[in-house]
């Protein structure tokens, strides 16, 4: 593994179903983030974690939850998916020495039908 | 509040043309400013940054100068290549503490051979 990996690459999900998007980094970064990318809106922060064991809400947290059991993994869960959650989801991380510089994963394209 | 405004795209240029993508911001305190680039099918990558007024960030032939008097951070390149075709995001992190990044909506650049 080099950098950040996300899984799955893409997914079609029926409304009402539960889904967990996976994110793993091997850079030992303390801070991790989840964004959604929608056309014309750029990237919006869903949740973040400053370090293992802590999480915080971003700009658009409703309908999503996260956990941070260890440094490397930061899964994002949709408890009951809705069509408005159709988006491309990016996980990112940053080094404490350069907290403003973020490294991004390749993204997960999610379609909720 | 904090916000970033970018020129709408898409921007279409011929190879070797001069590129400018405008970015203006609103922020409290003294933010750090960034340009990220997203190539097709990939996550965002940090392109360049500037952390204080009059700083010039540069990378891969791209430049941007932090202009506090005009609250701008315009991206420029003297001679674009087909491989520069991508989406460019202007971003800031507030100077008032924390490291949440605020992204603009993105500007898509197409470069024709």
pLDDT at residue A99, as a whole number: 76
Give the residue ranges of chain B where pLDDT is below 50. none
**What pLDDT score was predicted for residue B39?**
94
Q: Of A13-17, A87-91, B97-101, which gets the smallest average pLDDT?
A: B97-101
Chain B CB contacts of A90 below 8 Å: 43-44
Query: For testing the chain A interface, which of B3, B101, B105 should be mutated: the one with the most A CBs within 10 Å?
Result: B101
Structure-token match 């959604």, residue found: A36
In this prediction, residue B8 carries a pLDDT of: 86
Query: Which one has a higher pLDDT value, A113 or B42?
Result: A113
User: How many C-beta atoms lie closer than 10 Å to residue B8's C-beta?
Assistant: 12
Gap between the Cα atoms of A63 and B32, Å rounded: 31
pLDDT band for position A1 (50/70/90)?
low
A107 chain-B contacts, CB cut-off 8 A? 42-43
How far, CA to CA in Å, does B103 sit from each of B6, B23, B25, B45?
Answer: 10, 11, 10, 13
Rounded to a whole number, what is the distance in Å from the CA of A61 to chain B's nearest CA?
A: 14
Q: What are the CA-CA distances from residue A24 to residues A7, A39, A72, A91, B102 (Å)?
A: 9, 26, 5, 9, 23
Q: Which of residues 9-38 of A touch B (CB under 8 A)?
A: 31, 35
**Which residue in the set A40, A58, A106 is minimally distant from B105, CB to CB?**
A40
- Write the residue in B42, B43, B103 that is nearest to A42 by C-beta: B103
- Which of B40, B44, B73 to mutate to probe the A interface, most A CBs <10 Å? B44
**pLDDT of A41-84, one tens digit each?**
889 999 999 999 999 999 999 999 999 999 999 999 999 999 99
For chain B, the residues whose C-beta falls within 8 A of a C-beta of chain A are: 4, 32, 34, 41-46, 49, 51, 89, 93, 99-101, 103-106
Q: What local confidence, expressed as pLDDT, does residue A98 receive? A: 81
Report pLDDT for B69.
94
Whole-number pLDDT of residue B99? 61
Q: What integer best gives the mean pLDDT of chain A?
A: 94
Among the listed residues B33, B36, B25, B32, the one whose alpha carbon sits nearest the alpha carbon of residue B1: B25
Q: What is the pLDDT of residue B74?
A: 98
The H helix count followed by the E strand count for chain A is: 0, 11
């Amino acid at each position: 593994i080099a950098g950040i990996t996300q899984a799955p690459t893409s997914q079609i999900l029926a409304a009402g179903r539960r889904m967990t998007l996976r994110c793993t980094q091997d850079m030992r970064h303390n801070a991790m983030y989840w964004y959604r990318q929608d056309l014309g809106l750029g990237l919006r922060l869903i949740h973040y974690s400053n370090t293992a064991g802590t999480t915080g809400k971003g700009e658009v947290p409703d309908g999503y939850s996260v956990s941070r059991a260890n440094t490397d993994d930061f899964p994002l869960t949709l408890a009951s998916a809705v069509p408005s959650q159709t988006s491309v989801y990016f996980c990112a991380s940053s080094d404490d020495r350069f907290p403003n510089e973020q490294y991004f994963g390749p993204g997960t394209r999610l379609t909720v039908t | 509040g904090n916000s970033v405004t970018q020129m709408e795209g898409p921007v279409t240029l011929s190879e070797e043309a001069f590129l400018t993508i405008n970015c203006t911001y609103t922020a409290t305190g003294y933010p750090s400013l960034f340009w990220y680039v997203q190539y097709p099918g990939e996550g965002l990558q940090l392109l360049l940054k500037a952390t204080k007024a009059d700083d010039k960030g540069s990378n891969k032939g791209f430049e941007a100068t932090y202009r506090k008097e005009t609250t701008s951070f315009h991206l420029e390149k003297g001679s674009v290549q087909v491989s520069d075709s991508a989406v460019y995001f202007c971003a800031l992190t507030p100077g008032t503490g924390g490291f949440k990044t605020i992204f603009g909506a993105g500007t898509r650049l197409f470069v024709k051979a």
